Amino acid sequence: MSVRTRFAPSPTGYLHVGGARTALFSWLYARKMGGQFILRIEDTDRERSTDASVQAILDAMDWLGLDYDEGPFYQTQRFERYREVIAQLLDSGHAYYCDCSREHLAALRERQMANHEKPRYDGCCRDKNLPASAHTVIRFKNPLDGDVVIDDLVKGRVVINNRELDDLVIARADGTPTYNLTVVVDDWDMKMTHIIRGDDHLNNTPRQINILKALGAQLPIYAHVPMILGDDGKRLSKRHGAVSVMQYKDNGFLPEALINYLVRLSWSHGDQEIFSREEMIALFDVVDINTSPSAFNTEKLRWLNQHYIKNKPPEKVAKLLQPYIKKAGYSTDNGADLQAVLKVFQERCATLVELAEEIRFLYDDFAEYNTKQAKKQFKPAVLPILQSLQQQYSDLQNWQAEAIHQVVENTVKTFDVGFGKVGQPLRLAVTGSGKSPSIDITLALLGKQRTLQRLEWAITYIKKVDR
């Protein structure tokens, strides 16, 4: 039988990085085994599920390149099928109606907690043969003895005694099915062979196995992957920074960098850090996933992202960068050729957002200087140096890096100062921030007109401060 895996998010918010890693592992295993990867939207929580969240999930999957062979399937379109299976369980004696009130269940829970017992339904209505009514829920009749054995591909053999489980609700009083029922029916109908999901679902697995057995269904193979933690050892959340997949896109990360980073959270292949998508498919195996949680390290992700930006052809980076330039509020229509700029700058930045800001000075005039740098570099003694540079560059006909550098060398000799006494004030004058690649290449890209204009601004600024 062909391997079939699935990713089944609930559309109650964005797709977070933990979910994205689960999707990636499921996608990789299906691709490695020549199987199918299915996308299912578990949208039965009508109060919290939104169309916007569905679209956010679809957009994130598309951006990450996690293409699916079937779907997306929506649980809200399958209610009739769930009703059929619930009826089947009732007819076969594997389910029953329960009219226990909220007050009864709350009191039961309170007593159990007071006695230091595990809170669980006591089977009050299990053998009453109650009829259906507007107030009854439907419970699955869990076996009272024996063990549920899970041969988990990640965690190994897990054994749960049925006495630890209770008779869970599979349909609410209004007739809507619950999570554990819908998941079972979907996995059965969609012929899932492997369920790869977070280990927070491990408690649900024995319940779902018992329902599958009651239906006479073929059991899938399970793999429960460990959760992702923040740097502080606590479960990853908003307090650790961006956790939405699309927020990483907005922050200037590349999908291949995020995918490469996520695959290394709880999985490895020797000391290899950089993986192409083809290498991931060839090397990945579920059984190699670690059992312990992994800590999310944003700096490591930034390092990977910089690697991918640095090694991407400038023409591709230029295309990717345009939305971030537009968002930053400037245009590259007038100024140096963007691809020529990127050949110099793209290895200097960890994200596309940073890159868009780093090159801004080449296309957009700045309103002020870096305060700390201006105080350090724009002292009265530097005024004649900048005036000399302005004159020499005004006379320079060959606006190339070598000739631009020679002007700096001449100025260093003329004023008998170190290179930094010329280069640093000049860099601040033309960039506003005081940081850039080598000054000759910077000025060559900036152009003669802008260079002279910014030298004039710097000279005027120093004269005002000197007063």
Give the model confidence (pLDDT) of 348-381 as tens digits: 999 999 999 999 999 999 999 999 999 999 999 9
- Contact partners, residue 364, CB within 8 Å, separation at least 6: 329, 330
Question: Residue 185 in contact with residue 214, Cβ under 8 Å?
Answer: no
- Architecture category of domain 247-362 in CATH: Orthogonal Bundle (1.10)
Sequence ranges of the chain with CATH classification 1.10.10.350:
371-466
pLDDT value at position 112? 92
Helix, strand, coil percentages in the chain from 3-state DSSP, rounded to 5: 50, 10, 35
pLDDT value at position 45? 81
pLDDT value at position 377? 94
pLDDT value at position 241? 63
pLDDT digits (tens, 9 = 90+) for 154-180: 999 999 999 999 999 999 999 999 999
Sequence ranges of the chain with CATH classification 1.10.1160.10:
247-362
- What average pLDDT values come out for the chain (467 residues) when binned by 10 residues? 94 91 98 98 86 94 98 96 98 97 93 92 95 96 97 97 96 94 98 96 97 98 94 73 86 98 95 96 96 92 98 97 97 94 96 97 94 94 96 96 97 95 96 93 97 97 80
Pick the catalytic residue: 213, 238, 375, 413?
238
310 in active site? no
CATH classification (class only), 371-466: mainly alpha
Sequence ranges of the chain with CATH classification 3.40.50.620:
79-225
Q: What is the pTM of this model?
A: 0.92
Quick one: how far is CA 219 from the chain centroid?
31
- Architecture category of domain 79-225 in CATH: 3-Layer(aba) Sandwich (3.40)
> How are beta strands 228-229 and 294-295 bridged, if at all?
parallel
For the stretch 79-88, contacts whose Cβ atoms lie closer than 8 Å and that sit 24 or more positions apart, written own/partner, are 79/176, 79/177, 81/185, 81/189, 82/177, 82/181, 82/182, 82/185, 83/175, 83/177, 85/181, 85/185, 85/215, 86/138, 86/170, 86/171, 86/177, 86/181, 88/215
